[in-house]
Homo-oligomer: A and B are copies of this chain.
């Protein structure tokens, strides 16, 4: 069978909203079995106590279970990313696979998914998590039928974080953890996962990375991962997006690396790779071709953007990741002319310091 990737973007009225998903299933365009992953931007704070991710996950899983009459496939990835600061609009990106009549005759969007085994609290932010991620990315590439890392444009990873309870559990077993700061654990988890992708895609040699480099040596990064941490899981969920000649359909993906948070030209570059030549803001016709925009946002560790001071790290009311998502969301919205953008925060080792990958999926 020739597979065809299916990507739908549906609005979410609140984190427990499953109406968009159910309407899609009702439409007959995709059956519930064909769903490989759902990425959601939810309106929590994207930090430790963001329970909108767990809520959305529970709601989506319950809705699918009710629709299917049984639990959904074990490898279904539900990747909720909290934080819709600025003008970002809560939405779901539903990724599926269905049968195409034939390959498209060119490279088309290909999707593969995989999970790591359950991680222990003491693995988070360390080699244990990193190595498990490498294996899972390779498994997801095989699942996608993508042979070469060059054809991978985006790897979405959902990863766990430490809570007080998890830290205590590890300590009760005589293990230490990478950090006692629950908020900091989110960064370490995202960072270790990103470096796992970098190794898996050949961007960095495994031997180059020691545990002490994680969230420390920012010269080490991948240009093609988005990792996001949530309290509701204890393993890494992986989805690989790339282009493959074996797939049918009309979708393709491209990416660029934003050199800093205001690198709008990177967005124009990714659009151009998909044949969308925009001068200034994308026009209505081109905007209709765009199915999904995915990007990582991060506050530069220098405290500056092109020499001008930002206050993200010194703000004790609003976390730096929240500022960064708002900023990058604004930069991309100005180019795209829309706000249903999957901008997630915490870009540790995902793109250069202060920057991050941006990927666009569009009809070609």
Contacts and interface: CB of A to CB of B under 8 A. Distances in A.
Interface of A: 11, 13-16, 43-45, 47-52, 54-55, 58-59, 62, 84-91, 163-165, 168, 180-184, 231-232, 261-262, 264-265, 268, 279-281, 301-303, 305-306, 308-319, 322-324, 326-335, 337-340
Contacts of A338: 262, 306, 308
Given A87-B312, A91-B308, 9 more contacts: A49-B314, A85-B323, A264-B334, A308-B338, A308-B340, A318-B322, A327-B329, A327-B333, A328-B330
Contacts of A50: 316
A44 B318 CA distance: 11
Contact of A59 (B13, B58, B323, B328): B58
Contacts of A331: 330-331, 333-334
Contacts of A231: 14
Copies of this chain per assembly: 4
Contact of A165 (B13, B45, B47, B265): B13
27 contacts: A11-B308, A11-B309, A14-B54, A47-B317, A49-B315, A49-B316, A51-B51, A55-B58, A86-B86, A87-B323, A89-B310, A90-B309, A165-B303, A182-B313, A262-B338, A262-B339, A264-B335, A264-B337, A265-B280, A279-B280, A308-B339, A323-B326, A326-B326, A327-B329, A327-B333, A331-B333, A331-B334
A258 to B, nearest CB: 10
Interface of A is mostly: loop
A-B pairs with lowest CB-CB distance, top 9: A330-B330, A47-B316, A326-B326, A164-B303, A86-B327, A55-B55, A264-B334, A89-B308, A331-B334
Contacts of A58: 16, 55, 58-59, 62
Count chain B CB atoms within 10 A of each CB in A181, A265, A333 and give the residue with the most. A333
Given A316-B319, A323-B87, A329-B327, A311 B49 contact: yes
Given A86-B330, A309-B89, A330-B329, A51 B44 contact: yes
Most buried by B among A280, A309, A327, A330: A330
Contacts of A182: 313-314
Contact of A164 (B86, B89, B314, B340): B314
Contact of A334 (B16, B44, B334): B334
